A and B are shown apart, each in its own frame.
Chain A
Amino acid sequence: MYPAVAGDRLVPLVVGVGIAAWLLLALGLIRWPPLLGWGLAAFGAEYAIFLRLRGGSVDSRVPAVAAVLLVVAELAFLSAGGGLEGADRALLARVVGALAAAVAAVALLADLLLVASGSANGSLSVEAGGVLAAVLAVAFVIRVASRSRESTST
């Protein structure tokens, strides 16, 4: 949706790729789950065409786009895998929590990557997010390392 609305060149092409992406996603959800990956790739392609046609500086909305794409992917694969039928409240809360954490992590990661690549255009909020993401990434690496150490000792 976003590339189709924000673009100003070759809009029909972008819109066409977007519609194809939606169709593939719908077909994947309704009948052929292997098409889900193709649908997501088509969304990526739509965004790539938009970026290529747009030119100029780095798109500052890329963290949001990445987060939304991840949410779409997660929900689509969850639905294709049978959804949460028969799930208790604890599991529902856990799934929602994990998804929210993943989305937040993606947004922070995107910030981190933008800052690291020097494309943040000096925006204070983006730079702060990048620093926070770096701290969280280090904390996560430490946690994983300690966990794998525990499992090897047992």
Chain B
Amino acid sequence: MTRTISPKLVAYVCLAGVGFVAALALRLEELVVLAAPFALLPAVSLLLARTPRIDVTVHPERERALEGEELDAQVALNAEQGTARLEVLLELPRGIGVASGDNPAAISIGDDDRRELKLRLHCERWGGYQVGRVFLRARDHFGFVGWEWEVDRRAPLKVYPREELVRDLLRPLETQVFSGNHVARQRGEGIEFADLRLFVPGDRVRYVNWRASARRGELWVNQQHAERNADVLLFMDTFTEASRDGRSTLDLALRAAASLTARYLQQKDRVGFVTFGGMLNWLLPATGVVQLYRLVDALIDTQIVLNYAWRDIDVLPRRTLPPKAMVIALTPLLDDRAVGALLDLRARGFDLVVVEISPQPFMPPPSGQISTVARRLWELRRDALRGRFQEAGVPLALWNDERGLAEGLEEVTTFRRRARVVAG
């Protein structure tokens, strides 16, 4: 606790001093009357001033919320020794705002008194936050002396991103060995018809295709495509972001990642993620509800970390990538290191899909001729970059304000269908 003397005290004492000296010099007793309050008020106030003893607790309504939701927070103050004026400021991180209530609030609290301040918080942006640090400033009756201190009662508050509408998920080219919802290329137990073959001892009678057997005079059995799960790896490019008016490409990437994670996990797929940027962070694929929470908790800690030391890194460590995984990259394609890493993944044979989160809506419109030409050149370079991905056989979906994520994913499916026809 820090005890401070306010500038008002200095001003009052100076005024009193000047007043008394002037009264003596000018022989005016009225000036004594005029100056006396400026001497007596600080003296009385300092005599009555006592160091406050106040205990503070902070109770957020809950630990988890969705982006855009509101929740209550309560700051409870228990005063063993009160104060005439107490200013209370609950520190709120960027991304959490006040919907209603006063922050800072100024109250008066007496001895053995209890006060509760209610704030309605608005979760403006996803993220992992710590809420509960309170700054307090107490003052005496006339504000001559102040006491400042802070109380740290921080508790975690996780704000999850809003879900993005996704109609159909991307189907991976390769599946894994565990059962799931994807029709695999391999034959095995399943529903989708794959082929016919001659009966061999050990085949179950239920698989005999009686129509084909009657036509050919020997026993033929149906074969099905196996239904398998897939490994999906979400690649988050966190080298850089474009942002404007509190929104950024990272927000969109995270929203998409959270939506895709939930949908793929519903399909019994194994989902993992890797953030590739100033820091490399990854979570190996797994399935189930626990993995959903684990992933979303890890995702909301994602942030842009500038790192100039990693100038040459363009390769993801092998450990972070399970074989035959479908990699969905969410990137604004603004950093060459991320582009290099993605092309390297494709060269290593991974089933790669790039969802380009367009930075254009976050850029100011060009002003002037040179700026317009520069913007045009920049767009041409981005077109060339997209061409490099398509030449490498990587489907690229563009996602911006005008096109939803579902539309972008549909474009990828179409690309794959066309690519297959051309290859055939």
Cβ-neighbour of B37 out of A36, A70, A114 (below 8 A): A70
Give the shortest distance, in Å, between B78 (CB) and chain A (any CB): 16
Is A148 interfacial (CB-CB < 8 Å)?
yes
Least Cβ–Cβ distance between B43 and chain A, in angstroms: 10
- Cα–Cα distance between A112 and B150 once the two chains are bound (Å): 44
- Contact digits for B71-90, partner A, Cβ 8 Å, 1 yes 0 no: 00000000000001101000
Q: A37: which of B15, B32, B50, B85 is its contact (CB, 8 Å)?
A: B15
Is A113 a contact of B28 with CB atoms below 8 Å?
A: no
Q: Which chain B residue shows the least CB distance to A99?
A: B142
* Most chain B CB inside 10 Å of its own CB: which residue of A34, A41, A119: A41
In the complex, what's the smallest C-beta–C-beta distance from B46 to chain A, in angstroms? 11
Report which of B10, B40, B85 forms a contact with A91, defined as CB distance below 8 A: B85
CB within 8 Å of A: which B17-44 residues: 18-19, 22, 26, 28-38, 40-41, 44
- Is B289 part of the binding interface, using a Cβ–Cβ cutoff of 8 Å? no
B33 touches A66 (CB 8 A): yes
Assess whether A86 is in contact with B30, with CB atoms less than 8 Å apart.
no
**A interface footprint on B372-400 (CB within 8 Å = 1, 0 otherwise):** 00000000000000000000000000000
User: Is B102 within 8 A of A86, CB to CB?
Assistant: yes
Within 8 A of A (CB), among B137-160: 141-143
Q: Which residues of B contact A147 (CB under 8 A)?
A: 48
A65 beta carbon closer than 8 Å to chain B: yes
Contact of A87 among B7, B30, B106 (CB under 8 A): B106
The answer to whether A91 and B12 touch (CB under 8 A), given A44-B31, A48-B31, A62-B34, is no
- Within 8 Å of chain A (Cβ to Cβ): is B47? yes
Are A70's CB and B41's CB within 8 A? Answer: yes
A123, CB-defined interface residue at 8 Å: no
In the complex, B105 has a CB within 8 A of chain A = yes
Q: For the complex, give the distance between the alpha carbons of A63 and B30 in Å.
A: 9
Q: How far is the CA of A59 from the CA of B31 in the complex (A)?
A: 10
> What residue in chain A is nearest B9 (Cβ atoms)?
A77
Asked whether any CB of chain A lies closer than 8 Å to the CB of B191, the reply is: no
Q: Which A residue's beta carbon lies closest to that of B13?
A: A37
Beta-carbon nearest neighbor of B14 in chain A: A37
Instruction: Say whether, besides A48-B31, A58-B30, A78 and B108 are in contact (CB < 8 Å).
Output: no
- A62-B11 CB under 8 A given contacts A88-B108, A151-B50: no
1/0 per residue, CB under 8 A from B, across A88-130: the answer is: 1011001100100010011001100110010100000000000
Q: A51-B28, A58-B29, A119-B29 are in contact. Are A81 and B143 (CB under 8 A)?
A: yes
From known contacts A44-B15, A62-B30, A69-B34, infer whether A91 and B48 are also in contact, taking CB-CB under 8 Å: no
A148 CA / B47 CA spacing, docked (Å): 8
A52 near B28: Cβ-Cβ < 8 Å: yes
Which residues of A lie under 8 Å from residue B33 when comparing CB positions? 62-63, 66, 109-110, 113-114
Contacts of A119 in B (CB 8 A): 29
Chain B residues with Cβ below 8 Å from A7 are none
Expressed in whole angstroms, the minimum distance between the Cβ of B176 and any Cβ of chain A is 58
- Cβ contacts under 8 Å, A87 to chain B: 105-107
Name the residue of chain A whose CB is nearest to the CB of B34.
A66
- Distance between A53 CB and nearest chain B CB, rounded to angstroms: 11
Give, as a whole number of angstroms, the nearest-CB distance from A17 to chain B: 13
Q: Say whether B143 contacts A66, CB under 8 Å.
A: no
Whether A94 lies near B108 (C-beta < 8 A) is yes
Q: What is the minimal beta-carbon distance from A21 to any residue of chain B, in angstroms?
A: 13
Asked if B103 CB lies within 8 Å of chain A CBs, one says yes
Instruction: Known A77-B8, A77-B11, A78-B143; judge A88-B107 contact (CB<8 A).
Output: yes
Contacts of B44 in A (CB 8 A): 140, 144
**In the complex, what's the smallest C-beta–C-beta distance from A81 to chain B, in angstroms?**
6
- Chain A residues with CB under 8 Å of chain B are 33-34, 36-37, 40-41, 44, 47-48, 51-52, 58-59, 62-63, 65-66, 69-70, 73-74, 77-78, 81, 84-88, 90-91, 94-95, 98, 102, 105-106, 109-110, 113-114, 117, 119, 140, 144, 147-148, 151
- Could you list 10 further interchain pairs (A-B, Cβ under 8 angstroms) beyond the known A44-B18, A44-B34, A88-B107? A34-B7, A37-B15, A47-B30, A81-B6, A88-B105, A102-B37, A113-B29, A113-B36, A144-B48, A151-B50
Kindly list the 7 A-B residue pairs having the minimum CB-CB distance in the complex, ordered from nearest: A37-B11, A86-B102, A87-B106, A91-B108, A62-B30, A106-B37, A110-B33
